[in-house]
Structure 1
Amino acid sequence: MNAVHDDADVIVVGAGPAGSSAAYYCASAGLSVLLLEKAAFPRDKICGDGLTPRAVAELAAMGVSLREDQGWIRNVGLRVVGGGHRLELPWPELSSYPSYGLARSRMSLDHLLADHARAAGAKLLERTNVTGPVLDERTGRVVGVTARPVDDAGRRAGDEVTYRAPVVIAADGVAARLATSLGLEKRMDRPMGVAVRTYFRTPRHDDPWMESHLELWDGAPGRSNLMPGYGWIFSLGDGTANVGLGSVASTAAATKVDYKDLFAKWMANAPEEWEFTPENQLAPVRGAALPMGFNRGPLYGNGLMLVGDSAGMVSPYNGEGIAYGIQAGRIAADAAVQAAARGSAAGRERALATYQTRMKDELGGYYTLGRVFVRLIENPQIMRICTRYGLPRPLLMRFTLKLLADCYEPRGGDMVDRVISGLTRLAPAA
């Protein structure tokens, strides 16, 4: 598979969780890997910093140490606040996933995973901005990328370089510059979320629960206006918490909501004991788009794989993308490894095509149900009814937690697991 003019067996563009996962698994299997990252570590990313048990299972499979004395804080479940209710829902006890989640800032997490990939043998090139694909003149297949070195501010710092490989994995985030340069545009009929967040010093830094606020008020609850969206508080165990809010729409149409203003109103009415004050705010409020439900594809074609945000792999239910990005990196790497073992071009293409098939089989039905879920909850009246009358019902909330967190037994399990599994199998993987 590796020709003499190739620089690596696989080029991975972007060293976030999806890209580092792909690089790690490819390198661990003996492939030569170039991992190209436009920034220098440590670098920040807009994220809630909370990891569900599904993400924890993926990290464990990568061999990442998850000991609490190495910067992780464990959480025992989800605390839901809304409709006059306050419920604590422990993560379920399952054979497929651990019964705890984790939190860690993306500044630290991404650096850790990139180093993990490098320790497995991947060659990491930081401050390397990929500028476009390299195409085979005869077939139009992607056979590499062009890139140029940049400084810490992202300014050009050298001449453009060409890197070649038989397989290119695009993990270049929501902008998906490689995919868009090839005409792979996002689907406007897929959900799109928006989130903003910042960090506060707070006594709540060691709260063992991930907290979700299903209602946001611009004054005292019940005596003010209900604002769009949902909020979160994820404790990081280091004296700080990640605090943010977001919303989701069933299409990718631009929203006119001023989320930073909405966030400021929420914080102005936060309880004093949380200490979410301007004096304790450690960073500006920053926002990002959350592409959901496979909003770009194909996931594989002509030598290019899309993983993570570049393919819109954020969950429509809860806005999580890390678990699915790492999963996609793992499956993409397996396809690349199998392709490297094939003796013909046709055989290699068949192996690489299994990536899309497997991802659609594993997540397609779940994401399809998620699109239905988003169409329901984006109606404020329906959301209010669900919050007020659904939260007090234990069986319904157990079902909701497993569905929203994607933590259920895919085979077997209890009645709730079987219902969710059945629904995801019945839903078309579009």
Structure 2
Amino acid sequence: MHDVIVVGAGPAGSSAATHLARSGLDVLVVEKTSFPREKVCGDGLTPRAVQELKSLGVVTTGPGWFPTKGVRLLGGDRRLELPWPNGGLGLTRTRADLDEILARNAVRAGATLRENTKVTAPLTANGRVQGVRTSTGTHKARLVIAADGASSRLSVALGLRPRRDRPIGIAGRRYFRSPRHDDEYLEIQLDLAPAGYGWIFGMGDGTCNVGVAFLRTDHPDYHQLCSRWLASLPPSWGFTEDNAVGPLRGAALPMGFSRRPHYLPGVLLAGDSGGMVNPSSGEGISYALEAGRLAAEVITTAFRSPFPEHVLRKYPAAVNRANSTPFALGRAFTRALENPHLMRLATHQGLAHPPLMRTALRLLGGLPT
């Protein structure tokens, strides 16, 4: 019998496990794959994500960590560089590295990690989740955290499916050797498609993370969109087949709290499993790290309370309180994206007014004011 079982060792799961283990709880993390593992992502870490990493005690300097100054927005013939608010620090780090760093950090904090362990079903009794069945055996716990990604088979097994009224995005990402690898701004092409954008993030190691993202209903083929965009870029940037490092890979982006509720008796949802991806930017790492921390705080308080269930039911409100503004604005933003004329007007007018775009970056990105 464990205090908490965390399903999934991504940013949300490892964040929760670290904070819980530091509180002295018995934490088991089960991960269906083994590290290092591939994860489709832009690899960009906003100042909000960096702050969460610091709270975990992760050292964010040295090889593999590349600092960024802000975001560069491109649209039509306009270009605007927006430094991170309040002199904040951003970073890039490949997810193959980052996720393993976070998982090993949880182990150092006292959590137990079992890799290559697939959860096959929840254990339930009297209407409450009391553990999980896995490919290696049965494990019981006082609480379970579902941090098993966008598909979240654990959530689906409990009857929680994505809401149809929430946006779902698709992203495609590929690495290229490029002279732009040390660009200190995260570059985003806003008008790549009526409901999509492209990105170029320097990794500081000789490569760039290059990709596209869009609403699934509008552009089902990210391969075609990415190929067309890359063909339009200057050859000197190196985004050609000869310079490619690995194939183009895609993934779903569950946005705007697309799966709810975030708490059922005995189980909390964190990260992509709860649709905790910003609808306007497609960013999910900072929200996953934050959700893991919030889940740990609520659980730790609940275990010390004479009324633990009353405390646990406050978790969805805590998550919503932290992200309601950027997620609500982001959902409205995605609806606007579907109108190409409105999107083109907003892009061109917005890029011509830096103060407006700085405010939009803070609000849509949930960054400090």
Contact persistence 1:227–1:262 (CA under 8 A):
no
How big is each residue's C-alpha offset from its partner over 1:339-373, in whole Å with a ceiling of 9 and x where there is no partner? 22234xxx110121121121122222432222112
Aligned to 1:246: 213
Whether 2:115 is the aligned partner of 1:126: answer yes
Match of 1:266 in 2: 229
Show the counterpart of 2:78. Answer: 85
1:194 maps to: 170
2:223 alignment partner AA: K
Q: Retained in 2: the 8 A contact 1:78–1:91? A: yes
Identity of aligned residues (%): 50
Aligned to 2:65: 72
Alignment pair present for 1:366 and 2:326:
yes
Match of 1:312? 275
* Letter paired with 2:211: G
Query: Which of 289, 306, 314 is the equivalent residue of 1:354?
Result: 314
**2:185 is aligned with 1:209:** yes
Matched residue pairs, number?
369
Gaps in structure 2 of 5+ consecutive residues: none
Cα distance between partner residues in 2 of 1:342 and 1:405:
34
Contact 1:26/1:333 (<8 A) preserved: yes
Please tell me whether residue 331 in structure 1 is matched to residue 313 in structure 2.
Answer: no
- Deviation of residue 311 (structure 1)? 0.4
Query: Distance between the aligned counterparts of 1:386 and 1:43, measured in 2?
Result: 39
Which one has a larger percent strand, Structure 1 or Structure 2? 2
**Residues of 2 paired with 1:24 and 1:290: CA distance?**
25
> Contact (CA 8 Å) 2:329, 2:364: kept in 1 or not?
no
Q: How does 1:288-303 map to 2 (within 5 A)?
A: 288-303=251-266
Specify the code of the residue in structure 2 equivalent to 1:72: W
Query: What is the match of residue 143 of structure 1?
Result: 130
Q: How does 1:16-55 map to 2 (within 5 A)?
A: 16-55=10-49
Q: Which residue of 2 aligns with 1:394?
A: 354
Deviation at 1:15, TM superposition (A): 0.1
Which residue does 1:61 correspond to in 2? 55
After TM superposition, the runs of 4+ consecutive aligned structure 1 residues lying more than 2 A away are 254-257
Is residue 325–residue 366 contact of structure 2 (8 Å, CA) maintained in 1?
Answer: no
Q: Please report how far the alpha carbon of residue 88 of structure 1 lies from its aligned counterpart in structure 2 after TM superposition.
A: 1.1
For normalisation by structure 1, the TM-score amounts to: 0.84
Question: Are the counterparts in 1 of residues 58 and 105 from structure 2 also a CA contact under 8 Å?
Answer: yes
> What is the 5 A alignment of 1:391-430?
391-409=351-369
Residue 102 of structure 1 corresponds to 91
Taking the TM superposition and a 5 Å limit, the aligned residue runs for 1:219-234 are 229-234=196-201
TM-score by length of 2: 0.97
**Equivalent-residue separation in structure 1 for 2:138 and 2:80 (angstroms):** 54
Q: Which is further off, 368-377 or 53-62? A: 368-377
